[in-house]
Structure 1
Amino acid sequence: MVSEKLPDHFMIGEIQVDRIAHHDLEAWHFAVDRLGLKGIDIFTGPRPSIGGIRWINGTSRDQAFTTVSGLALAMAEKSAQAGLPLDGVKMFVYAGEKSPDALRRVGEFIEFWQGRHIASVDMGTKLADMQIVRETTQYVSTVNPSPYTARGVASAMRTCTKLYGTKPSDLRVFVSGVCGEVGFSLAQELIRDGMQVLGNDITQDEDRIAAVKGLGVEFFSESRLPLPEEKVHVYAPCAGGGVLNRTTIPLLRQAGIWLVNGSANCQLAAGRSSAEHMHILGIDWAKDDVTNRGGLLAVAHEFSLVTDMEGKINETGQIVFDLIELSHELDRPVSDVAREYFAKHIKDAA
């Protein structure tokens, strides 16, 4: 492991690295001037960590920092809940074109940490990009995590039908971000289970849209929530985070949504307040860092950090069910009961 006693400013080849002061997190800014490349990498602790490379050129530094700090903390919690001996990490490249040269410099930066950051795909990056990153670091996954993530979400969807006295073939599901890697894989899983799938995406990729429609998805190109007349039971957010807020939650209630269960990270815009709002309105929530853990487990398996990947993915649905059932019994938000649930289970497993 790299020593924690690093200077606040140093170079890795042509990469300028600067510490970002933070009271809880270890945060680093990196830049390559000739490429206009700028990014932030955040660690929650000293242990190895798995986290994606998010690449959205044109994002502000402040917005990137806010986003990536929340995602790193979410990865730490997700790892702990899955019983993995990992901390959390996430990278956000907020400036610079995603060229092969830039990807190789990102790889050099990751290699410097000697396994503290095991990188994978995220928004704005693809498996082909990871192949280029791998030219300069061994600590990057080239496994496609999306099907594994989708399997966990679909497992929760199937298991939670017991809460409503129905069966999978009776469910109508609205997948937001259905043209994305996870959204597409999830639609495949749900249709295979006999569910009726509606979905939306703002992509302009006509081939991808055609592929989604070819699955049998009722597709909408605008960014919106399910409508009451569509009689949707489950809302599956599979794009950006922060989608559950004081505006959207009442609209989901008006649309008759029973359950929110999707792959997006950090879905609660206001943390516990958003979870409580949903609970009060009678909308069940599949805790995002539980239902979407399949991708993390797949990468952990690739690096021999988990021995029972399949078993852990398969038990995802039952854990989501247990949390929601406990929320009903105690009349408390899922976010509250989850803390006690996982504290007990992690202690029992120790």
Structure 2
Amino acid sequence: MTDIAQDMPWLRRAWQTVQSRVAEDRLPHALILVGECGVGKRSWAEAVGGLLLCDQPLGREAGQPIACGRCKQCELLAAASHPDIRIYAPEKSRMVKVDQVRALSSFAVASPQVAHHKVAIIDRADQLNINAANALLKTLEEPLPDVTLILLQESGRPVLPTIRSRCQTLTVPVPGNSEANQWLLTRVKNLPEDTQPSADVLAKALMLAGNAPRLALDYATGDFIGLRDTALDRFKDFMKSRIPVGEAARAFKSMGLEDTLWLFETWAADLARLIVGGSARDADAADMLGFLAKTTPGWRAHELLDMVKESRAAGVYNASPELEASRLLIAWQKLMPVKRPAA
């Protein structure tokens, strides 16, 4: 079985930490892996799960064990049919709900079905609703020797301190542009030639993804870039009072709420950076944001960031992307300098 750190070198430090703990038989019962969206956190968690379930790990004596890829457990994992590993992720509401955590708790207390161990992965532990977080806390407070919990958290999204204090936290960095680009190129080469993204599309995908390779791959091979370009054009038109707010907001409808919030969050963060002399991550929006940065105080940019955070914290994931976009667009337009009438 391939070492996950060979496939994604930026995961190496977090992966080797787990390898050494497994080799020494002192892996904690619960881990939190923190990293940006699209850096491979779930792949890392699944690799850890595979290592813990494997009957005959290779390289244990050298302190760098990996799953063998040949035993019954590895075969079940490869077929995505292993009963002793479960993944719990946000549902359509974009929240991890209490019923999912209760199912995790029931899974945790039951005996392993075919392996000697069990693994439960919570993807986006930062999106546990309050009831789910409290239910998870009870499971963390009563650790079981044959169960490992792996929580995945996006950078900048909080997890309850009471949950964090009961887990060992590991962090995954974002790779540099060269490393991310090389990984991306190796993946798109496997696509049919007529579907391979151009170099310009790959560069834009990496720019928008902040060098997060898996996210960039999704962007480069999906429709996000086109939707985002249209939304940015309408955003600029609205800021210049060329179109009404309703028309501008409609451009965000097809993106969905989470991507809409993410886009406004990215622009607000870029504005904050430009105000203090930094540079914008979204190069296509840099001209407009640079213009606003000349007259906007820093607290206004952070106010825009807070508006996005409030939308997420309020659990508005059933809300309309158009309505949220309208609310945010109106707040943004207030930053435009007021033209004074000629004397």
Same fold (TM over 0.5): no
Normalised by the size of structure 2, how large is the TM-score?
Answer: 0.26
- Say which structure, 1 or 2, has more relative contact order (CA 8 Å, 6+ apart): 2
Q: Max radius of gyration: which structure?
A: 2
